[in-house]
Amino acid sequence: MNVFQRVAAIPKANAIILPAAIIVALVTQVPLLVTLVLSVVKWIVVRPDLGINFVGLNNYIQIFTSVDFYSIVLNTIALTFFSILCCTVMGIAFAHLLNRRFPGVNLARTILIAPFFVMDATAGIVWKTLLLHPSFGINGLVASWLHVPPTDFLGHYSLLTVVLLVVWQWTPFFVLILLAGFESISEELIDSAKVDGASAFRTLFQIKIPAIATHIEVAVMLGLIFILKTFGLIYVTTAGGPGISSTNLPYIVYRTSFYRWDVGRATAMAIVTVILTLVAITALFGFVRRKTREVEA
Amino acid sequence: MKKTLILIALALAILGGSALAQSGTTLTIATVNNPDMVIMQKYSAKFTEQTGIALKFVVLPENDLRAKVTEDVGLGAGNYDIVTIGTYDTPFWATNNWIVSLEPLFQGMAADKAKAYDRDDILPPIRSALSKDGQQYAIPFYGESSMLFYRKDLLAAAGIKMPEAPTWDQVYDMAKKLNKPSAGQYGIALRGLPGWGQNMAVFDTLINTFGARWFDMKWNPQFDTPEMKKAWEFYKKIITDAGEPGATTAGYTECLALMSSGKAAMWYDATVSAGTLQGADSKVKGKIGYALAPTVKKSNAGWLWAWSLAIEASSKNKDAAFKFLTWATSKDYIQLIGDNVGWAQVPPGTRVSTYNNPKYKAAADFATMTLNAIKNANYDKPTVDPVPYKGVQYVSIPEFQGLGEEVAQELAAYLSGNKSLEDALAASQAAALRVAKEGGYLK
């Protein structure tokens, strides 16, 4: 059977999706293959005289034998975990507060979700210069009112400050999803709980939150994907420093690519980042699924 | 007679054809978003009027520009005809054949145009820094060194007299006296923001003048020497005792804002900042004094830098690009900006004639000090002990972008107290050793 006969033998329904499948494969798999190939070469863009040489797994070995790499992985985990934890808790709290009728509720909702629509770079610069800067920011102003030296947030608490900014920016996203969840709970269910004498506290933790478990799952999954690749906020606020104290995996890939111009090492890091991200997402997905089943049971 | 007419007609046709060909040309220029370049972009319509050559600007911040144009030449994309690069980039871009030598183009210039352009008027230290093996590869658009800015009024009130060439110990003592944080006044503004073009630019001049160096003649890293340790300790001491709070978030822009808003009594930075400090928006206009870069063991501690224009090797419009280069760096351009924008705003640090111009001297009280700072900068021999590299505020190797960034982060970690001096120096030593080995420099 030649190629044409094989193509002719493909069921028509499958043939219809073939062009789309080819485009998707070209757009997603070809870059991945190129990245894999580049990760096993030594190629310093600014040193063309050294050429492009095959080095096997040397780039990967150098990454895994670097102490800094483990600190950066820990930074990434800490940044992602604490950001998602705070976003989830605050998302539930704010969504619950906004899930009721009171004058100005729509205005309150709009104000609360506004940070989500501010660009990373803009948010970072505003926070860095107008709010947190010890000389120009509100930070310095408040410190002078209190007659105490201003706190150097981005110098002394860099990772914590990045977490704060990520939480500020992403909590509205969690609120949007969880608010939809709270609004989907039937009034009858809540009324029944009230009739049975359940307190507001008990209603929240034993009825409402379990009822929105799927929404929490979606918010956490999407939050994980987006927060893991935080770049813009770090770029404009701390540049990953001081030292590597606020460097995460995407930022070190950028630094290796555009300061060291080491294509091999940067692509190897990118591959490792993708693998770690997939592992984290799969693990979290399994955990959330188990918890959801337990709650549903 | 007929033959002569035919020859003349033919010559006119060729010249006309060539002019027509150029009038349809569009040059793509990658440039940096600083005030002088923005002015150039604004007045570039005059060039198009004169030559018919259209211009398309891609304007980016310094770090983004370097990444973008390096990507362009390194990967052979060939998107730009003209690129804006610095004294750091020019030598190795020339070695990599990413930009063309300008010698053949200068030689092809008509005698009257060459005379009007007056290439020998370009300041020799800057021209030398933009050349390799005697061939010039880029033309400076503006040049700078570093110097100490100080508030004459505050120093006078404190009874302090600033020497023309102060030492760092003297600067420290003055900064301590003038440091009044409770009144919103810091003794000195110094860059602490990590980056090889940020804190390292200033700190490298301290490394040199303290008698330290990045590498010895065999490319062995030198971060474990007592001189290097002293330089790091001093920088932290002066910033902690008399500098701005949150120094690791203060780069060039923040320090300029501190000085121009009257919050700093002194500032050690680029000479080009003098124009802004004496500008109409500055709160300290008329109150600024100037001194040469502070020293310890080595005199002539100031840096040398020039944002310059070069032609990409892949450009198909090299003649048109050269026309633009010689227009934007000509005496006529300086006259144009002086007449239309103001003499204090003309591109400084490139031509001797600018500093002989009475209008410039009258408008810019910093002119003499800037010229002296540039002339004093020791680009070829930046350190006390001999080194195998050139460059004052950088090491002239392609890998310095990455190495400088790593050491800059270590310095910031030490300044902010996140790392001990020993750990920061050990990490810097390891990074320098890796670069020396991987780059094939270590002997």
ipTM for the complex shown: 0.84
Q: Residue A46 domain-assigned?
A: yes
For position B76, what pLDDT does the model report?
A: 78
Would you state the pLDDT for residue A15? 76
Nearest residue on chain A to B197, alpha-carbon basis: A259
pLDDT one-digit tens code per residue, A272-288: 999 998 898 888 888 87
Helix ranges (DSSP H) in chain A? 3-9, 12-38, 58-64, 67-98, 105-113, 120-125, 138-145, 153-156, 158-184, 187-195, 200-203, 209-211, 213-228, 232-237, 249-258, 263-296
Domain range list for chain B: 2-144+305-363, 146-302+397-438
Count of domains for chain A: 1
| CATH code where residue A44 lies | 1.10.3720.10
Any domain includes A10 = no
Q: Find the chain A residues whose C-beta atoms sit closer than 8 A to any C-beta of B.
A: 44-50, 128-129, 132-136, 140, 144, 147, 149-150, 152-156, 158, 239-245, 255-256, 258-262
Residues contacting residue B267 through CB under 8 Å, at least 6 positions apart:
B148, B149, B150, B188, B189, B190, B255, B256, B258, B259, B273
Return the CATH class of domain B146-302+397-438: alpha beta
pLDDT of residue B12: 44
Q: Which residue stretches of chain B have pLDDT < 70? A: 1-23
Q: Distance (Å) from the C-alpha of residue B230 to the closest C-alpha of chain A?
A: 20
Q: Is residue A75 part of a domain?
A: yes
B439 touches chain A (CB under 8 A): yes
Q: Do B405 and A255 touch (CB under 8 A)?
A: yes
A 10 A CB-CB count for A187 gives: 7
Query: Looking at residue B21, what is its pLDDT?
Result: 46
How far apart CA B143 and CA B392 sit, in angstroms, is 14
In a domain, A63, yes or no: yes
pLDDT lower than 70: segments of chain A? 1, 3, 7, 292, 295-297
Spatial CA neighbour of B192 closest among B235, B131, B128, B146 = B235
> What pLDDT does B14 receive?
45
The predicted model scores a pTM of 0.87
Give me the pLDDT at residue B333, please. 96
| Residue A12, in any domain of the structure | no
Q: Encode pLDDT of B357-383 as tens digits.
A: 999 999 889 999 999 999 989 999 999
Q: Write down the CATH number for the domain with range B2-144+305-363.
A: 3.40.190.10
**Residue A292 domain-assigned?**
yes
Show Cβ contacts of residue A257 under 8 Å, excluding neighbours closer than 6 positions. Answer: A263, A266
Residue A273 falls within a domain, yes or no?
yes
| Within-domain flag for A16 | no
Residue B5: predicted pLDDT: 47
Q: What pLDDT does B22 receive?
A: 57
* Residue A261 belongs to domain spanning: 39-296
- pLDDT at B394 (0 to 100): 96
Taking contacts as CB-CB distances below 8 angstroms, the residues of chain B near A245 are 413, 418
Q: Is the CB of B413 less than 8 angstroms away from the CB of A48? A: no
Cβ within 8 Å, pair B71-A45: yes
Is B146-302+397-438 in the same CATH topology as B2-144+305-363?
yes
